[in-house]
């Protein structure tokens, strides 16, 4: 049994009266590519936002790389330091690219390593240029996000996340806001990361990509993991009616 890098145990999360995550258990092994599927509103974003501490949960535990995230009560007790420690090791890519609009591509990628990791500008820029090359954006370093296509912005966002040398990368519908002709270039970068052994948790509706790249697929339904298996198991032989219904709508 390989050691898990993300360990989610019995996590419960409510927004006021809405019980959004209902006893989620999920382990992700080092190097594993996990795809999370499920209907809109089922809790996919909330779950991955909990993993990098963007959302607090009320019950259960989440451990990333051996460091336990503080739950909501612990945050109130001032466990922010531990939260920041975990966050530094987790890269996140959102549906809306969230680049800083008034900073160049290069500045977007160097900012956090300089501020949070105290890297020198020269060091941060060298790393940024290497990462921009890796996502095919080396020729755009001095442009502003507004001068780039959505696909290009998303590739910069991936480079920016990688610049913090994360142990895990989280993707929340990274291609949902893109024009169809730009989806492929972003999925290509993600596919390459997966090949290089990056641990990844990906929420996506790109079922072809999931089938090809995922080691494991989980189906989340109304805040619970209903089914967990290989892509072949989930897509070709789903056990649960609700999984079948969901797949019949999206495939
Ligand atoms: P998904 O990503 O699967 O579409 P979400 O995790 O975004 O689902 O949302 C799960 C549920 O939690 C939805 O009912 C949504 O309305 C609710 N929710 C999400 N974020 C908030 C929030 N900040 N405040 C209140 N309710 C929220
Ligand atoms: Mg979502």
pLDDT at 1 over 80: no
pLDDT at 75: 84
pLDDT at 2: 57
Nearby residues of 207 by Cβ (< 8 Å), 6 or more positions away: 37, 235, 247, 250, 251
Helix axes of 105-117 and 150-162: crossing angle, nearest 10 degrees? 20
Distance from CA of residue 44 to its chain's centroid? Answer: 11
pLDDT at 43: 98
Asked if the interface predicted TM-score (ipTM) of this complex is over 0.90, the answer is yes
Q: What is the mean predicted confidence (pLDDT) over 149-167?
A: 97
Residues 76-128: tens digit of each pLDDT: 888 878 888 888 899 999 999 999 999 999 999 999 999 999 999 999 999 99
pLDDT at 73 over 90: no
User: For 72-81, 155-164, 214-223, which range has the lowest pLDDT when averaged over its residues?
Assistant: 72-81
Question: Residues for the chain: how many in total?
Answer: 251
Q: What is the mean predicted confidence (pLDDT) over 141-162?
A: 98
Quote the ligand 1 centre to 27 CA distance (angstroms). 22
pLDDT at 53 over 80: yes
- Name the residue with the closest Cα to ligand 1, atom 27: 15
Q: What is the mean predicted confidence (pLDDT) over 24-42?
A: 97
Q: Which residue has the higher pLDDT, 161 or 71?
A: 161
- Name the residue with the closest Cα to ligand 1, atom 5: 43
Is the CB of 45 within 6 Å of ligand 1?
A: yes
Is the CB of 49 within 6 Å of ligand 1?
A: no
C-alpha distance across the termini of the chain, in Å: 32
Tokens 């020198």, residue? 120
Quote the ligand 2 centre to 134 CA distance (angstroms). 27
Integer Cα distance of 60 and 137 in angstroms: 40
Q: Quick one: three-class SS letters along the chain?
A: CCCEEEEEEEEEEEECCEEEEEEEEEEEECCCEEEEECCCCCCHHHHHHHHCCCCCCCEEEEEECCEECCCHHHHHCCCHHHHHHHHHCEEEECCCCCCCCCCCHHHHHHHHHHHHHCCCHHHHHHHHHHHHHHCCCHHHCCCCHHHCCHHHHHHHHHHHHHCCCCCEEEEECCCCCCCHHHHHHHHHHHHHHHHCCCEEEEECCCHHHHHHHCCEEEEEECCEEEEEECHHHHHHCCCCHHHHHHHHHHC
pLDDT at 76: 80
Quote the ligand 2 centre to 51 CA distance (angstroms). 14
**pTM value?**
0.96
Six token digits for residue 149:
């296509």
Q: What is the mean predicted confidence (pLDDT) over 224-242?
A: 97
Give 218's strand partners. 36, 228
Quote the ligand 1 centre to 120 CA distance (angstroms). 39
Q: What is the mean predicted confidence (pLDDT) over 128-134?
A: 98
């Amino acid at each position: 049994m390989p050691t898990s890098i993300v360990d989610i145990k019995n996590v419960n999360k409510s927004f006021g009266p809405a019980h959004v995550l209902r006893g989620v258990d999920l382990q992700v092994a080092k190097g594993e590519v996990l795809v999370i599927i499920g209907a809109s509103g089922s809790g996919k974003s909330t779950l991955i936002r909990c993993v990098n501490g963007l959302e607090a949960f009320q019950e259960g535990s989440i451990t990333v790389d051996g460091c336990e995230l503080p739950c909501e009560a612990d945050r109130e007790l001032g466990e922010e330091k531990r939260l920041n420690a975990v966050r530094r090791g987790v890269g996140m890519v959102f549906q809306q690219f969230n680049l800083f609009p008034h900073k160049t591509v290069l500045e977007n990628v160097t900012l956090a390593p300089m501020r949070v990791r105290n890297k020198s500008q020269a060091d941060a820029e060298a790393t940024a240029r290497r990462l921009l090359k890796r996502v095919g954006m080396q020729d755009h370093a001095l442009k502003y996000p507004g001068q780039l296509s959505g696909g290009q912005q998303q590739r910069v966002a991936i480079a920016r996340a990688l610049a913090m040398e994360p142990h895990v990368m989280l993707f929340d519908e990274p291609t949902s806001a893109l024009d169809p002709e730009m989806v492929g270039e972003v999925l290509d970068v993600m596919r390459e990361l997966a090949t290089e052994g990056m641990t990844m948790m990906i929420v996506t509706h790109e079922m072809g990509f999931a089938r090809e790249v995922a080691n494991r697929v989980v189906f989340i339904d109304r805040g619970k993991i209903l089914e967990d298996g290989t892509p072949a198991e989930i897509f070709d032989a789903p056990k649960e009616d609700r999984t079948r219904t969901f797949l019949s709508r999206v495939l």
